[in-house]
Amino acid sequence: MATPADNRVLIVGGGATGMTAALRLADAGRDVILFAKKPFTESSSNYAQGGIAAVMTATDSVAAHVNDTLIAGAGLCDPEAVEHIATHARASVEWLLAQGVGFTRENDSDALHLTREGGHSERRIVHATDATGAEIMRALTARVENNPRIEVRKKHIVVDLLTSKKRGLDGENRVLGVYAFDRKKGKVETIAAHAVILATGGASKVYLYTSNPDTSTGDGIAMAWRAGCRVANMEFMQFHPTCLYHPHAKSFLISEAVRGEGGKLVLPNGEQFMQRHDERAELAPRDIVARAIDYEMKRGGLDSVYLDISHQPAEFVREHFPNISERCTQFGFDMTTQALPVVPAAHYTCGGVMTDLAARTDVAGLYAAGECAHIGLHGANRLASNSLLECIVMAQAAADDILQRDLSQTESAALPEWDESQVIDPDEQIVVTHNWDELRRAMWDYVGIVRSNKRLERAQHRVRLLQEEIREYYSNFRIDNNLIELRNLVTVAELIINSALQRQESRGLHYTLDYPDKLPDDEARHTIIEPVA
């Protein structure tokens, strides 16, 4: 049996959300265990290029930020959630500055440099050149690794949440702890806790092509679902319109800010096409731009379209996009003189585990924040640079709610150790590898940018077959990192497909050939999936 929980908090995920929550709790005197599957540099937060949306000038307003978010969300945002996030944006930027984040400044001044991205009516993107996420992670990592109250367990992946319902206990369903797999030792440890924060990021790795790192396997969403939490709006998977098209680039992201600073999308012959799809052209929201590129590629039989900012002065391009420019050079492209080949790729999970504005889920003591959660901020589409903002605001909300509670007064329950007595070492790892590939290809082919009921039903059939295979494999063999992630991805894939089949309209990121029109906004509803009792 596991040792009863003390006053510590478990945080699952080593990105900006997990680190922010850990620091907030530790600075207030709470002990924290932070689980990270891979090095902190392999979190989605570290790959974020654009920045953080926040009202920082007198010419801008929270009301304008809210309105831009509501427009991008295509009628499905929760206005209260949008207002909450936008109102706390400036304080979040100031908190990050206090942690040592070096945001880009205006020339020879202390004023923060603000850029503009698609869907924003004002320049309000606080950034660190074109590598904002990496700079935030650098600063937070330094603080986390030097905080004696934060125990970082690297190369650990949480297998599942332990709950009172799973233990057959009476009363409300509450979290009791976790099973965590130590990848170095190959062992599963049982760790008790009265509070757990899921900060695991999104699930874009469910698709064949993604801008996300390999860690984005939907772990938190799948674990919360199995624990008894509702999930919402999983059909709204955002495809970033401009990822570098190169066999070795692994879908390297070309920031939205490139279009914000004048970059044009063109066909191989140099013809601009975005004005045919939306009057905002390159500054239209991402779902519109991604669909436009997908349409032009299919119409012309193209491998890619092109993003061209070479008309801007070379010094301007290198100054604003030093990291993107350098990375493109490594792949043989000079963005100061030539257009970059780009394609859409899965980028952001707009749905997730349902929470309130304190990040509380349906299971007592269990919190979810950041990309794995759904608070109603993003609606049917995410406005650029609201994601890092949500990470900071909601991580602090989760921590603040926990700090208001005396966890030591919560009744403890003895937890069983992980049982491996009935399993053996896997005999054919190739089964897991093949299932990984089959799942991601089926999702790309049938549940991508443009969908139909027929495609979704094909994907549903394949996913159910894969689930059976994985369930049998999981029951009979010792687990490893790949099997844990594959199990979670198949769960998330089913949630995405079932959500997509329920939505009988095209809205935001969900476009279906069977229902190409959008319902009136007053008829718009969230797609909520409830666990089977």
Residues 160-209 pLDDT 10s: 999 999 888 888 999 999 999 999 899 999 999 999 999 999 999 999 88
Asked whether 266 and 376 are in contact (CB, 8 A), the reply is no
Per-residue pLDDT at 1 exceeds 60:
no
Q: Which two tokens stand for residue 193?
A: 């806790």
Question: Which amino acid is residue 531, in one-letter code?
Answer: P
pLDDT score at 421: 67
Judged against a pLDDT cut of 60, whether residue 283 lies above it is answered with yes
Question: Is the Cβ–Cβ distance between 233 and 372 less than 8 Å?
Answer: no
Output phi, psi for 495, to 5 deg: -65, -40
- Mean pLDDT value of segment 386-411: 89
Q: What's the DSSP call for residue 42?
A: G
Nearest to 342 by CA among 252, 247, 242, 208: 242
Cβ atoms of residues 227 and 296 within 8 Å: no
For residues 510 and 380, the answer to whether their CB atoms sit within 8 Å is yes
Query: Parallel, antiparallel, or unpaired for β 237-244 and 340-349?
Result: antiparallel
pLDDT band at 52 (very low <50, low <70, confident <90, very high): very high
372 secondary structure, DSSP code: G
Segment 177-180 long-range contacts (CB within 8 Å, at least 24 positions apart)? 177/2, 177/5, 177/10, 177/415, 178/10, 178/12, 179/418, 180/35, 180/153, 180/156
- Can you state the percent helix, strand and coil of the chain, rounding each to 5? 40, 20, 45
Rounded to 10 deg, the angle between the 79-87 and 387-403 helix axes is 90
Sheet of 175-182, strands arranged across: 156-163, 175-182, 187-192
pLDDT, tens digit (0-9, with 9 covering 90-100), for 436-450: 899 998 998 899 999
Look up 286 and say whether it is catalytic.
yes
Going along the chain from its start, the domains and CATH numbers come out as 9-235+350-407 (3.50.50.60), 245-346 (3.90.700.10), 430-515 (1.20.58.100)
Query: Which distant-in-sequence residues (6+ apart) come within 8 Å of 45 by Cβ?
Result: 15, 16, 17, 133, 136, 137, 201, 388, 391
Q: What is the pLDDT of residues 299-351, one digit of tens each?
A: 999 989 999 999 999 999 999 999 899 999 999 999 999 999 999 999 999 99
User: Residue 141 is inside which H or E element, if any?
Assistant: helix 132-145
Give the active site residue among 116, 174, 259, 286. Answer: 286
Residue 362 has a pLDDT of: 97
Point out the least confidently predicted range of 101-105, 106-110, 325-329, 399-403.
106-110
Given a cut of 60, whether residue 4 has pLDDT beyond it is: no
Rounded to an integer, the average pLDDT of 228-249 is 92
- Tell me the pLDDT band of 498, cut-offs 50, 70 and 90: very high
Strands 150-154 vs 32-36: parallel, antiparallel or unpaired: parallel
DSSP letters, 320-347, are H-HHHHHHHHHTT--TTTSPEEEEEEEE
**Looking at the whole model, is its pTM more than 0.85?**
yes
Q: What is the pLDDT of residue 410?
A: 65
Query: Are 510 and 450 within 8 A, CB to CB?
Result: no
Distance CA 359, CA 401 (A): 8
